[in-house]
Structure 1
Amino acid sequence: MYVMNQIRIGAILSYFSIFLTFIVGLIYTPILIRWLGQSDYGLYSLVLAFTSYLSLMDMGVGNAIVRYIARNRAIGDSKTESDLIGQFLRFFLGISVLTLIVGFIICIKVPDIFRNSLENSDIRTAQIMIIILTISFALSFILNVYSAVLQAYERFAFLKLSSIIRIVLVPIITIIALATGGSLISMTVITTSVNIIILIIGYLYCKKIIGIKVTFSPIEQDLKKEIFIYAFLILLTSIADKIYWQTDQVLLGILKNPEVVAVYAVAIQFVMIFMTLSVALSSLFLPKLSKIVTEKNHITKLNELFISISRFQFFVLALAFSGFIIFGKEFIILWAGSSYEQAFTIVIILMIPFFFDLVQNTGLVILQAKGLYLFRTISLVICSILNIIISIPLIEQYGSTGTAIVTAIFIAVGNVILLNYYYYYKIGLDIKLYWKNIIRIMLPLLVLVILFYKIKFNFNLETVGLFVSMFLYMILYIITIYSLCLNTLEKKSLKKIIKFL
Structure 2
Amino acid sequence: MEKRQYFGGAMISYIAIIFNVVLGILYTPWMVGKIGQSSYALYTIANSVISIFMIDFGLSAAVSRFVAKYRAENEDSKSNKLLGSVTILYILIDILIFIILMVIYLNIATIYKGLSFDELKVLKRLFVIVAIYSLLAFPFTPLGGIITAYEKFIHLKLCDFIYKILTVVFVIIALLHDYGVEAVVLASVFSGICAIILKLFIIYKKTPVRYCFTWVDKKLLKSIFTFSVWMTVSSIAQRCVFNIAPSVLAYTSSSKEVALFAPANTLEGYFYMIAAAVNGMFLAKISKLIADSKEHEIVNLMINVGKYQTILMGFILVGFICVGEDFMRLWMGVEYVGSWPCAILLFIPDILLFSQQIANTTAIAQNKVKKISLAYVAMAFVCIALSLVLGKWIGALGSCVAIMLGHIALFIISNVVYYKELNIDVFLFYKKVYMPFVFPCIGSVFLGYWLCNYVITIDGWSGLFVKGIMISAIYILAIISFMFNSNERSKIIRLLRGV
Comparing 67-76 with 41-50, which one deviates more in the overlay? Answer: 41-50
CA drift at 1:238: 1.8
Identity of aligned residues (%): 24
Cα distance, 1:429–1:46 mapped onto 2, change above 3 Å: farther
Q: Which amino acid aligns with 1:12?
A: M
Q: In 2, are the aligned partners of 1:452 and 1:473 still within 8 Å (CA)? A: yes
Q: Which amino acid aligns with 1:160?
A: K
Distance (Å, rounded) in 2 between the aligned partners of 1:421 and 1:180: 58
Cα distance, 1:120–1:489 mapped onto 2, change above 3 Å: farther
Query: Could you tell me which residue of structure 1 aligns to residue 147 of structure 2?
Result: 150
Query: Could you tell me which residue of structure 2 aligns to residue 328 of structure 1?
Result: 324
Q: Which of 267, 272, 275 matches 1:275? A: 272
CA drift at 1:279: 2.2
Question: C-alpha deviations, 1:276-326, integer Å up to 9, x for none?
Answer: 222222421011111211232x33201111111111100111111222222
Distance (Å, rounded) in 2 between the aligned partners of 1:79 and 1:229: 23
Q: Which amino acid aligns with 1:354?
A: D
Q: Which of 193, 199, 202 matches 1:205? A: 202
Q: Which of 420, 426, 447 matches 1:425? A: 420
Please state if 1:439 is matched with 2:435.
Answer: yes
Distance (Å, rounded) in 1 between the aligned partners of 2:395 and 2:35: 23
Distance (Å, rounded) in 1 between the aligned partners of 2:8 and 2:33: 37
CA drift at 1:418: 1.0
Please state if 1:465 is matched with 2:463.
Answer: yes
Comparing 365-374 with 403-412, which one deviates more in the overlay? Answer: 403-412
Q: Which of 220, 225, 231 matches 1:223? A: 220
CA drift at 1:224: 3.1
Please state if 1:27 is matched with 2:46.
Answer: no
Q: What TM-score, normalized by structure 2, do the two folds share? A: 0.84
Cα distance, 1:299–1:495 mapped onto 2, change above 3 Å: farther
Cα distance, 1:495–1:293 mapped onto 2, change above 3 Å: farther
CA drift at 1:130: 6.0
Question: C-alpha deviations, 1:47-91, integer Å up to 9, x for none?
Answer: 7668644344x2211101111111111222232111111112222
Cα distance, 1:433–1:127 mapped onto 2, change above 3 Å: farther
Distance (Å, rounded) in 2 between the aligned partners of 1:480 and 1:256: 41
Query: Could you tell me which residue of structure 2 aligns to residue 5 of structure 1?
Result: 4
Q: In 2, are the aligned partners of 1:42 and 1:258 still within 8 Å (CA)? A: no
CA drift at 1:230: 1.7
Question: C-alpha deviations, 1:76-120, integer Å up to 9, x for none?
Answer: 2232111111112222122223223334545667777787xx665
Please state if 1:477 is matched with 2:475.
Answer: yes
Q: In 2, are the aligned partners of 1:24 and 1:168 still within 8 Å (CA)? A: no
Distance (Å, rounded) in 1 between the aligned partners of 2:328 and 2:38: 18
Query: Could you tell me which residue of structure 2 aligns to residue 82 of structure 1?
Result: 80
Cα distance, 1:340–1:172 mapped onto 2, change above 3 Å: farther
Q: Which amino acid aligns with 1:235?
A: T
Q: In 1, are the aligned partners of 2:72 and 2:284 still within 8 Å (CA)? A: no
Higher Cα radius of gyration = 2
CA drift at 1:177: 4.7
Distance (Å, rounded) in 2 between the aligned partners of 1:49 and 1:255: 27
Cα distance, 1:44–1:430 mapped onto 2, change above 3 Å: farther
CA drift at 1:446: 1.2
Cα distance, 1:61–1:35 mapped onto 2, change above 3 Å: same
Q: In 2, are the aligned partners of 1:42 and 1:265 still within 8 Å (CA)? A: no
Q: Which of 224, 231, 236 matches 1:234? A: 231
Q: In 1, are the aligned partners of 2:444 and 2:471 still within 8 Å (CA)? A: no
Q: Which amino acid aligns with 1:86?
A: G
Please state if 1:370 is matched with 2:366.
Answer: yes
CA drift at 1:195: 2.7
Q: In 2, are the aligned partners of 1:96 and 1:138 still within 8 Å (CA)? A: yes
CA drift at 1:338: 5.6
Cα distance, 1:367–1:172 mapped onto 2, change above 3 Å: same
Q: In 2, are the aligned partners of 1:30 and 1:336 still within 8 Å (CA)? A: no
Query: Could you tell me which residue of structure 1 aligns to residue 312 of structure 2?
Result: 316
Query: Could you tell me which residue of structure 1 aligns to residue 289 of structure 2?
Result: 292
Distance (Å, rounded) in 2 between the aligned partners of 1:276 and 1:371: 25
Query: Could you tell me which residue of structure 1 aligns to residue 13 of structure 2?
Result: 14
Mapping 1:331-410, distance limit 5 Å: 331-336=327-332, 341=337, 343-385=339-381, 387-388=383-384, 391=387, 401=397, 403-410=399-406
Cα distance, 1:89–1:312 mapped onto 2, change above 3 Å: same
Distance (Å, rounded) in 2 between the aligned partners of 1:360 and 1:86: 33
Q: Which amino acid aligns with 2:429?
A: Y
Q: Which of 44, 63, 72 matches 1:65? A: 63
Question: C-alpha deviations, 1:454-475, integer Å up to 9, x for none?
Answer: 2213232412222232123223
Cα distance, 1:276–1:201 mapped onto 2, change above 3 Å: same
Comparing 170-179 with 32-41, which one deviates more in the overlay? Answer: 32-41
CA drift at 1:211: 5.3
Q: Which of 397, 406, 409 matches 1:413? A: 409
CA drift at 1:222: 3.8
Distance (Å, rounded) in 2 between the aligned partners of 1:38 and 1:395: 32
Please state if 1:139 is matched with 2:136.
Answer: yes
Query: Could you tell me which residue of structure 2 aligns to residue 195 of structure 1?
Result: 192
Distance (Å, rounded) in 1 between the aligned partners of 2:248 and 2:43: 15
CA drift at 1:419: 0.9
CA RMSD of aligned residues (A): 4.0
CA drift at 1:167: 3.5
Q: Which amino acid aligns with 2:347?
A: M
Distance (Å, rounded) in 1 between the aligned partners of 2:434 and 2:323: 24
Distance (Å, rounded) in 1 between the aligned partners of 2:284 and 2:33: 43
Q: SS of 1:283's equivalent?
A: coil
Q: SS of 2:421's equivalent?
A: helix
Distance (Å, rounded) in 2 between the aligned partners of 1:69 and 1:318: 34
Q: Which amino acid aligns with 1:473?
A: I
Cα distance, 1:445–1:266 mapped onto 2, change above 3 Å: same
Mapping 1:22-61, distance limit 5 Å: 22-28=21-27, 31=30, 52-56=51-55, 58-61=56-59
Distance (Å, rounded) in 2 between the aligned partners of 1:51 and 1:395: 32
Q: SS of 2:315's equivalent?
A: helix
Cα distance, 1:244–1:447 mapped onto 2, change above 3 Å: same
Q: Which amino acid aligns with 1:327?
A: V
Q: Which of 288, 298, 307 matches 1:302? A: 298
CA drift at 1:328: 2.7
